[in-house]
Amino acid sequence: MSTGRLIRVWRGLFLDATPMWNNRGNGVSRPLGNLTYLNSSSKSDPITGPDSFTPKGYQIIGDGQVRFLATTATGELTDQVQLLADGKGLTRTLKRTGGTPIEIPVLEGKSIKQIRENFYWIEDAGLYLQVGDKSVKPTLNSQGQVVLPFSSELAYTLLF
């Protein structure tokens, strides 16, 4: 996770690693569940934009939670991802120290439709976006990404 981007998520069974280990193996494993692509893996710029981004590891917290740790030129960044209990989404909480406000790419999309306060439909991605703070509004950037403003703390939920 050298850029801090969530690339894809899936529901259902995890992986079929048989091709990786069968006979001589080919180094490939296949997801068994339904894949949902959030961002193109070809985008190499970090979520912190021009600010440097250095991964420092991760912590398994339990109950489907993972916390990623990183440093930037202006401070520390924590990125906690938690699966929803029903398996139909995830909540991401980002916190950082220092730096100027930036826009965090959440997922690729071409249109945002507000359903109700803090709740949006990203039609071409087929996902719902729920933002924790009602003052935070998603926008589209010139690269075809849904972005959220981020200063020191940001929480959002993606529903599949």
Q: Tens digits of per-residue pLDDT, 52-94? A: 788 899 999 877 689 999 988 888 999 999 988 888 899 999 9
Which of 107, 128, 105, 125 shows the shortest CA–CA distance to 116?
Answer: 128
Give Rg (Cα) of the chain. 17
* pLDDT > 80? residue 149: yes
Distance from C-alpha of 51 to C-alpha of 59, rounded to nearest angstrom: 23
- 121 strand-pairing partners: 113, 128
What pLDDT does residue 133 have?
92
Which residue reads 């001589």 in tokens?
Answer: 24
Residue 26 has pLDDT above 90, yes or no: no
Domain edges within the chain? 8-159
Compute CA distances 17 → 9, 11, 35, 56, whole Å: 17, 17, 16, 27
Q: Is the pLDDT score of 1 beyond 90?
A: no
